[in-house]
Structure 1
Amino acid sequence: MSLTDALLDRSSARPLITFYDDATGERIELSGVTTANWAAKTANLLRDECDVEPGSTVAVLLPAHWQTAAVLLGAWWCGAEVVGDPVGADVVLCDSDRIDLALSAAPPLGVVALSLDAFGKGLTGLPDGVVDYATEVRLHGDEFAPWEPVPATAPALDGASVERVLATARDRAAALGLSASDRALSTLEWSADGLTDGLLAVLAAGASLVQCRHADPAALERRAQAERTTVRLGA
């Protein structure tokens, strides 16, 4: 079973990720079904366009964003190992500010760049060998069938196996007091421990996430009340 299968309820119609960006005014809400569709599209893109397969390493240089969740879940669905360092990775997914960094690592399977635009606008004028995520992901199906099962011992995140990442996420969910009835408001970045506490633990608990990027501190309390959140993650 892939880490995606273990973390994501693909049949749930209730809100799973609600994303805010206070710099742009963006708000988007994704159910478990919609999140799974985006993860499937991403997995199909990675497999069909970048030749990602079980055992491939995928570097993710992206902020805490709903599209990043789709990228992570899509990579794990392929059986890939997600890493933070682009050096030595087979493929790199990055935002527009880190394209040069991604290219300097010379990943053999290429670079996929995300605009993270609120309206799905793609990037233009990209260097050769860089795929525009927003344009290409729309062309792929919203169902994904892995070529082979992903063993629990397969590496999933910076050397940690599927079973270890899942166990850590469940342990952190318990430590944070997260349960399936919770709705977590988070300002955590998804790097190092922030990814585990800010996304994986929430998914492992079956809870839902309200993720705030460029958070306006003055708006957080109002948002917590309006979104009926029960747990606060981050400052």
Structure 2
Amino acid sequence: MSIPAIELMTALRSGQSTSPRLTWYGPDAERVELSGRVLDNWVAKTSNLLQDELDAEPGTRLRLDLPAHWKSVVLALAAWQLGMEVVLDAAEAELIATAEPDPAAAGGAFETVVAVALPALAMRWPGELPSGVVDYAAEVRSHGDFFMPHVDPEPDRPAVRTAAGPVHTHGGLLAGFAAAGQASEAGLRLLVRAADGLETVLAQALAAWQGDGSVVLVHPDVPVTERLLSDERVSRS
């Protein structure tokens, strides 16, 4: 049974698939541009990593202990495509994705810890990782470009647990959670500020994509100049 996250990824890879869908501006002059096809490729590889290597399935909880970042967005989309629950607060979860892996977490509250190196060109975690911690950058590229769930996700399962708001189901992910993003204009090129936090960034991105739009995600240390807005053809900031 299809859920909105699967339908969204289908739309992003098929409609204007070569157009920018997610553009990231990070520190040290980072600029990463993902077309619909490339974004879908990253999400598919990540879903396959979660399902095939980490034994995730519909209902498995993934805590995103990450700043708002293009890789955080990819991980959330991958989890939703699989039918998982994305945890954005301190609630319990089986898996955690973090940029600061704690050796205690690997053998404690989580079954699996995924270390996410945030620099755009990182091919692996810089340095040693605690035993049992999965290196996202090193592992994700070896997985397939097409995702097929082993078990069909169910629309009534929880999709996202936020810090202060309600738990949204997969069936209501776009109508509920994404509605807070308030992007209603079709084809919108939306500026999204990472400083607003991951929950807000995810809601705004989903809302923009739901309307066949695209997102320019900007790190807090990157000034939003008139040149940036013009170069990226931002239609709302």
TM-score (norm 2): 0.86
Report 1:88-127 matches (<5 A).
88-95=92-99, 97-99=100-102, 102-103=105-106, 106-108=109-111, 110-123=112-125, 124-127=127-130
What are structure 1's unaligned runs of at least 5 residues?
none
Aligned to 2:25: 20
Counterpart of 2:134 (choices 127, 131, 136) is 131
Check conservation: 1:45, 1:137, Cα contact below 8 A: yes
**Which residue type is aligned with residue 134 of structure 1?**
A
Report 1:70-219 matches (<5 A).
70-85=74-89, 87-95=91-99, 97-99=100-102, 102-103=105-106, 106-108=109-111, 110-123=112-125, 124-158=127-161, 159-169=167-177, 171-172=179-180, 175-176=182-183, 178-188=184-194, 189-197=196-204, 199-217=205-223, 219=224
**Which residue type is aligned with residue 113 of structure 1?**
A
**Which residue type is aligned with residue 2 of structure 1?**
I
Counterpart of 1:44 (choices 48, 61, 74) is 48
TM-score (norm 1): 0.87
Counterpart of 1:226 (choices 225, 231, 236) is 231
CA–CA distance in 2 between the matches of 1:74 and 1:210? Answer: 19
Shift of 1:137: 0.5
Distance 1:101 1:186, change over 3 A: farther
The number of residues matched between the two structures is 225
**Which residue type is aligned with residue 141 of structure 1?**
G
Shift of 1:171: 3.2
Report 1:31-70 matches (<5 A).
31-70=35-74
Check conservation: 1:20, 1:28, Cα contact below 8 A: yes
Shift of 1:144: 0.6
Secondary structure of 1:186's aligned partner: strand
Shift of 1:34: 0.5
Shift of 1:104: 7.5
Distance 1:102 1:164, change over 3 A: farther
CA–CA distance in 2 between the matches of 1:231 and 1:223? Answer: 13
Shift of 1:167: 0.4
- Deviation readout 1:118-163 (Å, 9 max, x if unpaired): 2123113100110100100011111110113222212100131012
What are structure 2's unaligned runs of at least 5 residues?
162-166
